[in-house]
Structure 1
Amino acid sequence: MLAPFLVLTDFTAAADNALRYAAALAQPLGASLVLLHIRRESLLDRDAFTGKIQHLTEGEVATALEERTRNLPMPVVVESTADGIASAVEDAVRRHQPSMLFLGKPDTGNTPDELVSTTSLTLLRATRTPLLVVPSESSAVVPPQRITIAADHMAFTLKPQTEPIRDLLGQLKPTVTVVHVVEPEDRDDCTAAREAVAQSGLTAQVAQVGTHGVRSLRVFQGILQGAAETHADLLVVVARRRSFLGQLFNRSVTSQVVLHGHLPVLLLPAMG
């Protein structure tokens, strides 16, 4: 049995979609849920300037949480906090040791990249825990039947917190494909990329791993193209340490995939 899934909610449509996804994935795996509501009411909150913050009473928060959990078929722990997102999630991770975090991504199609909240960066920094970002418009199959893993030819070592993902792949037994993106003039052989994934142990419980090469000038576009061409239900991206600790996260391949993708994206923190 997997450790609980930790789902963040602010009662938006995007968060509700992430909760639905987490519940649909948890049920066949026998996992429970922890639903964490973070009350963002500080005038210093970046959303305070856009009018998006919901100022709810404790009673309204309790009602909203009850409405979202009353029909779920698995055990659910409900929590609410007024702490900042990083400290709140870090504390919840310490206490519940979840196998994954779930975060809903609102539609950011009309928002400049540099203005999009880097919540995923904050969570990777704070917890080093696998993070599944679910776009608000996603209607992907759950549990996923086709999983695409984006990888380059460089070896990587996954954080110990990613161990449950190997078990998840073993239980779900999806079709798994490694996508490797190269420059248009290069040879799109995926052997080294598949070996890098295998050596990380991520696919240790997967019987067969396919490959799919993509030629593209922009890596993130190639990754999204590869996910579409392999008919992926879930895209897995290895977030190297320089991506989620760097100051230029919004320019990284990882962030571009999250910002512009329409599939659920599972970010796995790596050591290198």
Structure 2
Amino acid sequence: MKRAFVVLTDLSEAAAQAQGYAARLAARLHGRLVLLHVYLNIDPLRDPEELVLTTATELAGRERIRADLQQMARQQPVPTEAELSFDSLGPAVAKAVRQHQPLLLAVGRAAHPALLDRLLPHEVVPALQAARYPLLLVPEGWAETELPQRLLVAADGAPFTLAAPAWPLKELFNALQPTTAVVHVAPEVHGPSHGDVALKSVMSAQLFGPLTNNSLYEVREEAPADGILHAARELGAQLIVVLARPHTFLGSLFHRSVTAQVLRRSPVPVLVLPTVA
């Protein structure tokens, strides 16, 4: 079966950016896309019993969305399925993961947050947290159309083991053959940085291509998120990879975690990989 890339779409420009990026990745592997649109309650004050409407207007609106999804699917450069779900987001994502076993889930980050974006911590985050699946976030302003050739892996000074859903991504990285740098941020100027531990851990994952001691890029005296984004600018990174441990995996998204800050601020796409330790 062709490798699948599931794109969560709300038919916005940001979602379209994620679609295009995922389609290019899928094309490299002769894979396929799944466009998943989930009905969400965007009014936090609305009675849940009112969410299921049976009026002719509501049914017509659903059919318009279905038609739009199918039209978008036909326009993609790779085989694409359109799925419209009336489940809540968590079950819808879990079902898509079970059915398609995708390499990753992809979402777009809007340039100007709307109501839906403000509800992400309450709706999207719990669903993605439960899925514990590789997540690709593509900023709406990302204009490059070439596949990522300069990869930056952000690692702290502690060992890690990738969760099983991340392992199949080796096929994608083998196809891309990017130049990979491992960035480690040490807030203090002096003293041990543990950058060697970070590099060794990334090397042991055997996911990101050949690495040497020269692959380490250290940043000193900066906050972790600032240092990661600084390194990305300096190295011209086209994709940032962050490693999320079980107790932090997107749990603080849009709040204070390093992963959250990178996801919110990065001008380049970010791939979040779950770990088991």
Give the TM-score of the pair, scaled to structure 2. 0.85
For residue 181 of structure 1, report the CA deviation from its aligned partner: 0.4
Mind listing any 5+ residue stretches in structure 2 that lack a counterpart? 47-57
Q: Please say which structure displays the higher CA radius of gyration.
A: 2
For residue 71 of structure 1, report the CA deviation from its aligned partner: 2.3
1:117 counterpart (102, 113, 120): 120
Structure 1 residues 41, 168: CA separation in 2 closer, same or farther (over 3 Å shift)?
same
1:14 aligns with 14
Moved more, 78-87 or 36-45: 36-45
Percent identity between matched residues is: 37
2:161 aligns with 157
1:207 counterpart (210, 216, 223): 210
1:129 aligns with 133
For residue 167 of structure 1, report the CA deviation from its aligned partner: 1.8
The amino acid that maps onto 2:210 is A
The amino acid that maps onto 2:85 is T
Matched, 1:168 2:201: no
**Could you report, residue by residue, the CA deviation over 1:53-98 in whole angstroms, capped at 9, with x for unpaired residues?**
xx77122112211331222222111110121111111111111111
The amino acid that maps onto 1:67 is Q
Secondary structure (helix, strand or coil) at the match of 1:107 reads: coil
Q: 1:103 and 1:45 mapped to 2: Cα distance?
A: 26
RMSD of equivalent CA atoms: 2.7
Structure 1 residues 212, 17: CA separation in 2 closer, same or farther (over 3 Å shift)?
same
The amino acid that maps onto 1:164 is P
For residue 41 of structure 1, report the CA deviation from its aligned partner: 4.3
**Could you report, residue by residue, the CA deviation over 1:238-257 in whole angstroms, capped at 9, with x for unpaired residues?**
01112127468721111111
Mind listing any 5+ residue stretches in structure 1 that lack a counterpart? 47-54
The amino acid that maps onto 1:117 is L
Structure 1 residues 40, 116: CA separation in 2 closer, same or farther (over 3 Å shift)?
closer
**Could you report, residue by residue, the CA deviation over 1:111-138 in whole angstroms, capped at 9, with x for unpaired residues?**
9x9x572366324322111000011111
2:100 aligns with 96
For residue 28 of structure 1, report the CA deviation from its aligned partner: 1.5
Contact 1:120 1:131 (C-alpha < 8 Å) held by counterparts: no
1:33-72 alignment to 2 at 5 Å? Answer: 33-41=33-41, 43-44=43-44, 57-72=61-76
Contact 2:3 2:31 (C-alpha < 8 Å) held by counterparts: yes
For residue 160 of structure 1, report the CA deviation from its aligned partner: 0.5
Q: 1:233 and 1:248 mapped to 2: Cα distance?
A: 22
Matched, 1:251 2:256: yes
Q: May I ask how many residue pairs the two structures share in their alignment? A: 261
Contact 2:253 2:260 (C-alpha < 8 Å) held by counterparts: no
Structure 1 residues 130, 2: CA separation in 2 closer, same or farther (over 3 Å shift)?
farther
**Could you report, residue by residue, the CA deviation over 1:27-59 in whole angstroms, capped at 9, with x for unpaired residues?**
11211111111122464489xxxxxxxx77122
Secondary structure (helix, strand or coil) at the match of 1:251 reads: coil
For residue 227 of structure 1, report the CA deviation from its aligned partner: 1.1
2:26 aligns with 26
Structure 1 residues 167, 211: CA separation in 2 closer, same or farther (over 3 Å shift)?
same
Structure 1 residues 177, 42: CA separation in 2 closer, same or farther (over 3 Å shift)?
closer
1:82-93 alignment to 2 at 5 Å? Answer: 82-93=86-97
Q: 2:11 and 2:114 mapped to 1: Cα distance?
A: 22
Matched, 1:228 2:233: yes
